[in-house]
Amino acid sequence: MEEKKKHRISPKLVFLHFLAIIFLYTVAGSFITLLFQYVNILIPDPVFYDSYGYYPDIYGPLRFAISSLVVIFPCFILVSWLLNREYKKNPETRQLRLRKWLIYFTLFLAAIIMTGDLVAIINSYLNGELSIRFALKALSFIVVAGTIFGYYFWDVKKDAPAPQSKIVAWIVSIIVGGFVIGAFVLIGSPGEARAYRMDQIRVQNLQEITYAIDDYVVVNQEKPSTLGAMEKSASYNISRDPITNEEYEYNLVGENQYELCATFEHNSQDELEYERGGVRFEPDKNWSHTAGHVCFTNNFKKKDLIK
């Protein structure tokens, strides 16, 4: 009876294996996404720009990939270390069929997921993606998939945890860490991201105020004297600067024009490139701005009704 117990995989080992499977998929998927976004940023392709000249949402997936790798990759290394420690305590469990079933199940699911990724890569190429981008993405995929399959096929045949597994873990950790640090350099610091977001909010606020002024003029058939007066008299919710909570500057210019002014932290062109990770061919000049105090001139609506 004692002999049989020694040759069974405990629930703890099964649990660790399933954790390792989940972490492996997440790490592999996130790292492939990270590599693909590197290619998208460093080799932009006009074929995939939208009608405004943006490459749609590169930095969003890049941030998510970084977040996943920062949290889940160390967890994967920890779970793998715990598994190896258990196998060192009970070397005979490495030869049990259940363990091999779990490893082959891991590779089976990984093969299905990665086949889907490969289909997506080829589909992008057939849709006109640059050959160099296709080649780099395919190479990234082959290296990641080959490393995963090669390691597990090699490991499943070993009677005991191989000393080389530590070297593999260190090499993989250095590579992943290097690419994550590089991605941080590409997307900038969280403080910089916050500054860009604040500038976007300021532009949105000014646009909303413009709509409110248009509505006020149509309803009251007169120009507002100040934003505060407009807010009080007509119950408009006038947005304020998200950082200082100061009212935006409003000035009457001539008979039928007015200015809305705000203080920005970045140039709008930098902000657009930062947000989408692409090159904007024809920037929208309506709300483009430099860093610092900037005023936008607008026309009043229904000029013939304005007193």
Query: 147 and 39, same structural domain?
Result: yes
Q: What share of the chain is helix, strand, coil (3-state, %, to 5)?
A: 65, 5, 25
Query: 156 and 33, same structural domain?
Result: yes
277 with 41: CB under 8 angstroms? yes
CA distance 234 to 220: 9
Query: 139 and 39, same structural domain?
Result: yes
CA dihedral 146, 147, 148, 152 (to 10 degrees): 100
Query: 177 and 80, same structural domain?
Result: yes
CA distance 13 to 292: 59
205 with 248: CB under 8 angstroms? yes
Of 190, 209, 194, give the one whose Cα is nearest residue 266: 194
pLDDT tens for the chain, 307 residues: list them.
344 444 566 777 778 888 888 888 889 889 998 998 888 888 877 666 655 445 556 777 888 899 999 999 999 999 988 888 877 777 777 667 777 787 788 778 778 877 887 888 888 778 777 788 888 888 888 888 888 888 877 777 766 666 677 788 888 899 999 999 988 887 777 777 788 888 888 988 998 898 888 888 888 888 888 888 787 766 677 888 988 888 899 998 877 889 999 999 888 766 655 554 444 434 455 788 888 899 998 888 755 444 4
Last residue of a domain, one of 187, 218, 239: 187
What total number of domains does the chain contain? Answer: 2
Q: Which domain holds residue 168?
A: 2-187
